Structure 1
Amino acid sequence: MSWAVRLYPAAFRREFGDEVAEVYREATRDAGPLGRMRETGDVIGHALRMRLGLGSAGRWFGAVVAVAVAVPYAVSWLRFLVPVAGGLLLAGRQAFVRLRTAPAVPAAGLPFLVLAELTGALAVYLALPLLLVVLGAAVAVSVRRRRGGSGPLVGA
């Protein structure tokens, strides 16, 4: 919690830092993880509003900024998820049962990654890890096939 108190301006921190930390400890004593996270967010928000010199209007402004950032991101995810969900529903399980070779797995997963990138739903820093997951799935299929498995799906 001391890291969040450091976000307050130095003068406020010297005068009220211990009190803020104590109030936080009391508020989160019997709280679960979600309650602690919410309290930490409140402390961080208050510290940033004080540092930026925003009063109660700062809450309204912060909410507007959060919505302005979240809505376009949510829309890009919807533009990605709707066609993907439709395609998966139309293809059904049989489309995945046919993925019997290692090259077929990345070939099936790559269009999803490209669509996510084109719609803006995929952050640049997630592209490589997701590509590695697709390649890992290809390796898993290859190993399963070598061991005599009938298909890439568990129990198939």
Structure 2
Amino acid sequence: MSDPLVRLYPAAYRAAHGQEIIDVHREMTADMPRPARLRADADLVAHALRVRLGLDSASPAGRFFALAAPFALAACAVGSGLRLTRWYTGLALSPAPVRVQLHATDGAWILYMLLSLLVCVGAVVALTGRWGPGAGLAGCGLLGTAAVQWAAGAHVYEEGALTPVAALLTVAVVLVCPPDRRGDRRLSAAAGAMAAVGWFPVVVVNAGAYTGAFGVTTDYGAWPLLVLAFTGAVLALRARSSGLREMGAMAVSAPPLVAYSCATVWGDLRPVLGTFLLLSVMAALTAFLQTVRRRS
């Protein structure tokens, strides 16, 4: 069974490693029940396709998406978390009893909020050490929110059509990440810190607790994007790289925050365009600092 599957690998890779792959796969699956053997075959096919598409862990693209995936999960957690806390703040600050408000709320909206909660829980689980189950929960939540919004109409929740598109892009980034590079502790910790800094000040401001909290006087949806850009610069400086790879990974991770920003300012693209300009400027500045450091 494994011989035809090995043909899915590129010719050069098959010539170098094909026999070894066949021998290991046969030995590994010799005593497996049929369902387990099918899963092993599926893993082999997935690896072959990754190698053919240049998305394995040894390729530049694979390493790029391995860097982007934790921050994509963190970004979707920030977007979903802000959506949840904004709704909860509205419930808490309204003079009407919470029970009355919930009774009058559309059932699809309740489902939308529950799926957003699932995204947040999944992202936290993934970034705290259990990548597989956490990413699976977050992915289901993202696909669910996209489905609910498309079914109800993007205009219904004032989120804009970008939100379901951003959800699908985030799922794609997480899936493309090579399996053996998922759950990196250092990157997960950095992504978790980015999510906390991007989420908490906005919640404080939106709750009206302190309108000048952390220097965020007017949000416009740009604060989480600014935190993401700053995180990319810090990663580049620590890695002593040019910054292009890190800033590119932050840009790939940004769609949930872009959708949140556009929804916050009713489709005004200026904060988003300004943030992507900032990403470019910070990448250039990081490259300049690395050049100066090498020469000194």
TM-score range, shorter chain: 0.3 to 0.5
- What TM-score does the superposition give when structure 2 sets the normalisation length? 0.26
User: Scaled by the length of structure 1, what TM-score is found?
Assistant: 0.41
